[in-house]
Structure 1
Amino acid sequence: MSGCGCDAPRHGQNLMPVSEALGKLLDQATVTAEIEEVSLAAALGRVLAEDQLSGVDVPPRDNSAMDGYAVRCSDLKNSSRLAISQRIPAGTAPTALEPGTAARIFTGSEIPDGADAVVMQEDTCSESDDAGNTWVQINSEPGVGNNIREQGQDVKTGQTVMPAGTRLQAAHLGVLASVGVGMVKVYRPLKVAIVTTGDELVMPGNPLKPGQIYNSNLFTIQGLLQGMGCEIVDLGIIEDTFVGTQDALKRASEQADCIISSGGVSVGEEDHVKTAVESLGELSLWKMAIKPGKPMAFGFVNGTPILGLPGNPSSVLVTFTVLARPYLLKMQGNGQFLPNSFAVEAGFSRTKTTARQEYLRVELQDGCAVLGRSQSSGVLSSAVTAAGYLVVPENAQVREGDQLTFIPFSEVTN
């Protein structure tokens, strides 16, 4: 039986390489201009709209990295037994260290003036008499600066601790709190309308009739958008008619900053998204050299951008994470919109090639990428056990041991 020609460009329609398509998408991503101020407690996942500068040094004073004794190193040249002149718990302001004495000190406590080292308590032994006098025997010779965290070691006053465009995660919030920031200016969350097409679709929880399937794409897209901090407008399942599709896209364009559709972007008689977009605006990109997901489209409906994803479940996942996600992140003002990746060895061989750049769902075993259960565009379950995508360039065979780009799912699904 002859091939179906799925990987071959149709007459007069060359497939656009993924890198070129991504570049064109990012060139057209416009950052929302609306900014709001929120508390640090409400800022997780939001994108900073301005640089954050520190008004303090962190730590604010030299402090101890250990429980032990603060000493003046020169005093130990005369005697390794020193009287304990003060006790410095964390949060207590010390007095200057008396010459020839040591100060009992705890982790995080401020170093007293005059002290230039901390000896950890494991290298000492202490004693006291009936009159309440205490001494410490220093059993190791410290160097100047030992076990002292210097003022401003982490952050200095006036330093930019976080640039605009940072998407705030837990560690970012901790750093901002450490310099006393309580409120931050962030971009307004992106509002995204989801349009799922297909008369065969049924919402989970309802019984299936012959010829029907559950609407999994809605929940995949919704989950990915929620992970990015977007607000969601669900237009529901749209009937497979031109008028119904056109009406849904009009409503979506009026309610959201961006539209994401699934299904209806191919060339079948029941595929109406492409023609509806063209009737309401323009289609800028269509058909890309990506597998799975060739029919993905991009355009504008009454000035509102639309990302038209294919209908197959794995095609939705791949095209969203590889192409739609960077576009949406840039629209949110995020300065880091491309995922981190690294090279891994292929743990399999494959002689079959495709004219499209392929994103294989793979598992990692002993540092090598091995194929998941199924690479069919209609099979989503293989993504559950996969660790990420192995990127196979156009027209490339895979030989075991080849170094190929690996994109962890943690980089594209959070």
Structure 2
Amino acid sequence: MSTAANRTAGPDHLWTVDEHLEDILATVRPLEPIELQLLDAQGCVLVEDITVPVSLPPFDNSSMDGYAVRVTDVAGASEEFPAVLTVVGDVAAGQSEPLHVGPGETARIMTGAPLPPGAEAVVPVEWTDGGLGGGPVTGMRARSQAPEGAGGHVHVYRSAEARAHVRAKGSDVKAGDRALDAGTVLGPPQIALLAAIGRGTVRVRPRPRVVVMSTGSELVQPDEQLADGQIYDSNSFALTAAARDAGAIAYRVGAVADDAETLRDTIEDQLVRADLLVTTGGVSVGAYDVVKEALSSVGDGDEEGAGIDFRKLAMQPGKPQGFGSIGPDHIPLLALPGNPVSSYVSFELFVRPAIRALMGLDDVHRPTTRATLTTDKALTSPKGRRQFLRGTYADGEVTPVGGAGSHLVAALALADALIVVPEDVESVEPGTEVQVVLLG
């Protein structure tokens, strides 16, 4: 696997957002296909076209509880002059020995049951007396008091056209039709279709396994007591949830203290269950940025081509980033900054596309649109940086929420979009049309 460590860019090179993303997507490869049981394949991407082996429905069947009839036998039937037919028996769903309906005959039929030979239509039980004599039967009486089996007669009070209340064989899909295309993400409706055409297993690219871990000795798990100088670890929860939302199977690792050896050991322990590793924190220039300390030398020696490259990006928030591969299997690793907004924005821009690429999807990006900026004052942006501001989007308008600070978790919780301010723009006036990344 080639990595960014092989690039000629020096440590002082300021990467653009597009360069960093291009490097990630050029490195990450879709996971190898496997055969999975249907329910295990939910959320996975098909790698084969699915052809229908048997028509749906596989036979003509009734869409109503009622009576299977010949059209000529009920022609002109009315309440004043009903058609009187001999009941030759019942046809239930799943019945393998169909009755034959001859002239002047009918068979009581249940919803989903095959249309018996000789019959051309179905009259609902509500159009009959249910074999009881008297007027038409309706409601619960139609279902509970109709005759059982052969013998007796039924009065039919309305005529029926050919194929009335009959679901035709192949009216859903026909044998030989394309049911699903390769590249389809399998959700509940697609799994239902696969089951309906008799497929118990399917060949897919599996959902990527993503391991997320935070770093920092100041981090405490929720429900624990905070001491002076401590904060709760929100990043690992946010990024694990985001990875699951992107389609991955995500595992959250408890926060790792600021110790390079401990972090290195933790990462090595997680490699066995990871297709992608994501760390947050410890990638800037501080004295205790342990991710850089722990991973800068990884890949030296036997693991040819592996290594993590730490770089600066021309963006705000999220300037410090790391990317490369680790371990003998060259598992991709993305090292994100530790501020909550920085880490989440970085996830949306870089990690989510990587997950979608591992899944084998063609379109790995969030949808974007243009929207009118609604705000009381102009937005400012640092020159040479692509800024991503949180916002709420509705009806072609976007409104900023919170400020530019990368610690503002509460504002992030209100946002459903990112407002993109290009590198060459330092001020955006109210009413300006801007690019928006939709997060919902």
Superposition TM-score tier, normalisation by shorter sequence: 0.7 to 0.9
Superposed, which structure 2 residues align to 1:59-208 within 5 Å?
59-73=57-71, 77=75, 81-84=82-85, 85=87, 87-93=90-96, 94-99=98-103, 103-120=107-124, 124-126=127-129, 128=131, 132-138=152-158, 142=161, 144-187=162-205, 190-208=208-226
Counterpart in 2 of 1:293?
318
In 1, Cα distance between equivalents of 2:63 and 2:163: 11
Using the TM superposition, give the Cα deviation of residue 165 of structure 1 relative to its aligned residue in structure 2, in angstroms.
4.6
Using the TM superposition, give the Cα deviation of residue 261 of structure 1 relative to its aligned residue in structure 2, in angstroms.
0.8
Q: Does 1:397 align with 2:428?
A: yes
TM-score, structure 1 normalization: 0.76
Deviates more, 1:400-409 or 1:145-154: 400-409
In 2, Cα distance between equivalents of 1:317 and 1:28: 22
In 2, Cα distance between equivalents of 1:226 and 1:60: 38
Alignment match of 2:352 (pick from 322, 325, 340): 325
Deviates more, 1:164-173 or 1:340-349: 340-349
In 2, Cα distance between equivalents of 1:309 and 1:42: 31
In 2, Cα distance between equivalents of 1:70 and 1:158: 30
Q: Does 1:30 align with 2:29?
A: yes
Deviations 1:1-43, CA, capped at 9 Å, x for gaps: xxxxxxxxxx96444134x5434422322223373x4433444
Counterpart in 1 of 2:5?
none
In 2, Cα distance between equivalents of 1:138 and 1:398: 70
Amino acid at match of 1:293: G
Amino acid at match of 2:317: P
In 1, Cα distance between equivalents of 2:210 and 2:77: 72
Superposed, which structure 2 residues align to 1:254-333 within 5 Å?
256-274=274-292, 276-280=294-298, 281-283=306-308, 286-302=311-327, 303-333=330-360
Distance 1:208 1:145, change over 3 A: same
In 2, Cα distance between equivalents of 1:336 and 1:67: 46
Counterpart in 2 of 1:3?
none
Using the TM superposition, give the Cα deviation of residue 183 of structure 1 relative to its aligned residue in structure 2, in angstroms.
3.2
Using the TM superposition, give the Cα deviation of residue 218 of structure 1 relative to its aligned residue in structure 2, in angstroms.
1.8
In 1, Cα distance between equivalents of 2:224 and 2:217: 15
What SS does structure 1 have at the residue aligned with 2:297?
helix
In 2, Cα distance between equivalents of 1:362 and 1:248: 38
Using the TM superposition, give the Cα deviation of residue 307 of structure 1 relative to its aligned residue in structure 2, in angstroms.
0.7
Deviations 1:39-85, CA, capped at 9 Å, x for gaps: 33444344545444443222111223344454555655565643444
Counterpart in 1 of 2:256?
237
Q: Is the 8 A contact 1:64 1:107 kept in 2?
A: yes
Instruction: State the identity as a percent.
Output: 31
In structure 2, stretches of 5+ residues that fail to align are 1-10, 134-150, 299-305
In 1, Cα distance between equivalents of 2:364 and 2:71: 51
Counterpart in 1 of 2:142?
none
Q: Does 1:220 align with 2:219?
A: no
Distance 1:404 1:229, change over 3 A: closer
Using the TM superposition, give the Cα deviation of residue 310 of structure 1 relative to its aligned residue in structure 2, in angstroms.
1.4
TM-score, structure 2 normalization: 0.72
In 1, Cα distance between equivalents of 2:167 and 2:434: 43
Deviates more, 1:85-94 or 1:314-323: 85-94
Over aligned residue pairs, what C-alpha RMSD do you find? 3.9
- Select the structure of larger CA radius of gyration: 2
Distance 1:161 1:129, change over 3 A: closer
Deviations 1:217-266, CA, capped at 9 Å, x for gaps: 1222233345534253737414155x655555555557633221101222
Q: Is the 8 A contact 1:166 1:336 kept in 2?
A: no
Count of matched residue positions in the alignment of Structure 1 and Structure 2:
391
In 2, Cα distance between equivalents of 1:371 and 1:117: 62
Deviations 1:268-308, CA, capped at 9 Å, x for gaps: 33334346544224456844455433333322235331111
